[in-house]
Chain A
Amino acid sequence: DIQMTQSPASLSASLGETVTIECRASEDIYNGLAWYQQKPGKSPQLLIYNANSLHTGVPSRFSGSGSGTQYSLKINSLQSEDVASYFCQQYYDYPTFGGGTKLELK
Chain B
Amino acid sequence: QVNLLQSRAALVKPGASVKLSCKASGYTFTDYYIHWVKQSHGKSLEWIGYINPNSGYTNYNEKFKSKATLTVDKSTNTAYMELSRLTSEDSATYYCTRVGDEDWFAYWGQGTLVTVSS
Contact = CB atoms under 8 A, between A and B. Distances in A.
Nearest to B93: A43
A45 B110 CA distance: 11
Interface stretch (A11-19, A66-74, A97-105): A97-105
Interface of A: 32, 34, 36, 42-46, 49-50, 55, 87, 89, 91, 94-100
A45 B108 contact: yes
Contact of A46 (B61, B106, B110): B106
Interface of A, secondary structure class, is loop
Given A34-B104, A43-B109, A95 B44 contact: no
Contacts of B44: 87, 97-100
Interface size class of B (residues with CB under 8 A): 10 to 19
A96 B45 CA distance: 8
Interface in B50-79: 61
B47 A94 contact: yes
Nearest to B49: A94
18 contacts: A32-B103, A34-B104, A36-B105, A43-B109, A43-B111, A44-B108, A49-B104, A49-B106, A50-B104, A87-B44, A89-B45, A95-B35, A95-B103, A95-B105, A97-B45, A98-B44, A100-B44, A100-B45
A13 B61 CA distance: 36
Contacts of A32: 103
Contacts of B47: 94-97
